[in-house]
Amino acid sequence: MNPIVIKVGGSEGIDLDALCADVASLVHDGVPLVLVHGGSAETNRVATQLGHAPQFVTSPSGFTSRLTDRKALEIFEMVYCGSINKGIVERLQMAGVNAVGLSGIDGRLWEGRRKKNIRVLEDGKIRVLRDSWTGTVDRVNVDLLNLLMGQGYLPVLTPPGISEDGEAINVDGDRAAARTASALGADTLMLLSNVPGLLKAFPDESSLLREVAYEDFDEAMEFAEGRMRIKMLGAKEALDGGVGRVVLGDARNGQPVRAAMDGVGTVLMGAAK
């Protein structure tokens, strides 16, 4: 049975207790899973407390991301690999699941190129920012994941990833999860967040788009703003990488994984084979 890859976001309102309880019950039912998580809201809080307020940049193609200088990267690691990752592992361990928390640096799990200089849009003009600790995942260490899963461990994965030179790079969690799903040959990728799915008229939750066929992707992309654009890009990369379906689902309460398995949310279908 191919594993399901679940990415849970780190935005305000996400219920990690509900998520972990649901994950644990599926693991006990024998469903093979890999869990990926974010941590943006908590990182913003901690960064502000430490006097290094978060900054965001927009690329010329309209994607927003965190400005990651060395200090921002260190705070990012404290929260993502520290409090959030260990909090999830602890919840799962308390529920009887032998979870192992790893970042993309560990065992070169998520390897890619560092983009030291990034182009950003500022007041309508393109600027080049230097000293960026960011990049994209090109390779997933599938052997490491299979080694863990084969021995009954549940991998709990989080950014950053690692550059070819061994440096930590901030990679997008949704896109890293997409890469992981493709590399593992997953049938389903779930991107769970603090919205019911892709909304046609954000933030009106009654405007949920229930299904998007592969050929209608570009049309659906027009509804996505801000961070939802990267989630959609990740979804597309997963489908192009052979994942059968991507579900954008709600992680604010209930049984978020089981709901997404039942297709509650926005279901994006791969190209007909």
Binding site for ligand ADP (CB under 6 A): 9-11, 38, 40, 193-195, 198-199, 202, 223-228, 231
Residue among 63 and 202 whose Cβ is closer to ligand ADP:
202
Q: Which is nearer to ligand ADP, 194 or 255 (CB)?
A: 194
Which is closer to ligand ADP, CB of 148 or CB of 189?
A: 189
Nearest approach in angstroms of CB 268 to ligand ADP is: 13
CB of 90 to ligand ADP, least distance (A): 20
Tokens standing for residue 146: 């299979």
**Nearest to ligand ADP of 163, 231 (CB atom):** 231
- Containing 125, the helix (H) or strand (E) segment is strand 125-129
Cβ-in-10-Å burial (0-12, 13-18, 19+) of 243 comes to buried
Please state the closest distance from residue 154 (CB atom) to ligand ADP, in A: 20
Choose between 110 and 223: whose C-beta lies nearer to ligand ADP.
Answer: 223
Smallest distance, ligand ADP to C-beta of residue 143, A: 27
Residue 160 or 163: the one with the smaller Cβ distance to ligand ADP is: 160
Nearest distance in Å: CB 150, ligand ADP = 29
Nearer CB in complex with ligand ADP: 163/173: 173
Tokens of 268: 């994006």
Q: CA 235 to CA 190: how far, in whole Å?
A: 9
Q: Nearest approach, Cβ of 226 to ligand ADP (angstroms)?
A: 5
Strands (E), 159-269: 161-163, 168-169, 188-193, 211-212, 245-250, 266-269
* Contact between residue 232 and residue 224 where contact means Cβ atoms under 8 Å apart: yes
Longest CA–CA span in the chain (Å) reads 53
- Minimum Å distance from CB 56 to ligand ADP? 11
Residue the block writes with tokens 């405007």:
207
Interatomic CA distance for residues 60 and 131, integer angstroms: 18
By beta-carbon distance, which residue lies closest to ligand ADP? 9
CA dihedral 219, 224, 225, 226 (to 10 degrees): -130
Residue 109 near residue 166, CB atoms below 8 Å: no
The Cα–Cα gap between 213 and 200 comes to 15
